[in-house]
Amino acid sequence: MAAICEDARHPIPRPTEHALIQLDEEQVRTWTRAQKDEWWLRNVFRGDMPQLTVRSGLTGFLLGGVLAATAMYIGAKTGISIGVGLTAVILAFALYRIMDGAGIAKDFTILENNCTQSIATAAGYMIGPMISSSPPTCW
């Protein structure tokens, strides 16, 4: 059952167990920007969840360095640039999940993981111009 917004004509969708909540097509077309912003603040925004933290920055920096070195090696050998974004997010998630299980560190929040991926991806893709401007070596 949907709750009613201040304006009784616009029901607010409630989340189901496994679905992402979102506005339906009519709400997107008819709601004002203020109503959409209010809905987003109540249902999506996670202001109390850590995002850019020291550990997410350091993890992104270290993973970015390792992934950049890996991408540079593969690029120098083959001339092919590899993507590092998905690898960064999976490695960061797995690393902190293992450390949480061992009691060493608490698990990453989804927003910390997003920051880590952004930092690592930026560092990992810095080698792209270098790969594209140098011929493959050591065939």
pLDDT tens column, 28-79: 899 999 999 998 888 888 888 888 899 999 999 999 999 999 988 888 888 7
In degrees, rounded to 5, the angle at the alpha carbon of residue 57 between the alpha carbons of residues 21 and 40 is 20
The amino acid occupying position 65 is: G
- Give the contacts of 43 (CB within 8 A, at least 6 positions apart): 12, 15, 21
Residue 11 parent element (H or E): strand 11-12
**Domain extent for 33:** 3-43
Let me know whether 71 and 101 are in one domain. Answer: yes
Tell me, yes or no, whether 139 lies in a domain: no
Let me know whether 72 and 102 are in one domain. Answer: yes
Let me know whether 25 and 65 are in one domain. Answer: no
Highest mean pLDDT among 15-19, 77-81, 120-124, 126-130: 120-124
Tell me, yes or no, whether 16 lies in a domain: yes
How many angstroms separate the CA atoms of 23 and 15, rounded? 11
Number of domains in the chain: 2
**pLDDT above 70 covers what percent of the chain?**
82
Please give the structure tokens belonging to residue 123. 């560092």
Provide the whole-model pTM. 0.66
Let me know whether 39 and 63 are in one domain. Answer: no
pLDDT at 1: 43
Tell me, yes or no, whether 138 lies in a domain: no
Let me know whether 30 and 71 are in one domain. Answer: no
Of 71, 115, 69, nearest to 96 by C-alpha is 115
Task: Report the pLDDT averaged over residues 84-101.
Answer: 88
Tell me, yes or no, whether 49 lies in a domain: no
- Helix and strand numbers, DSSP H then E, in the chain: 6, 2
Let me know whether 58 and 39 are in one domain. Answer: no
| Higher-pLDDT residue of 19, 98 | 98
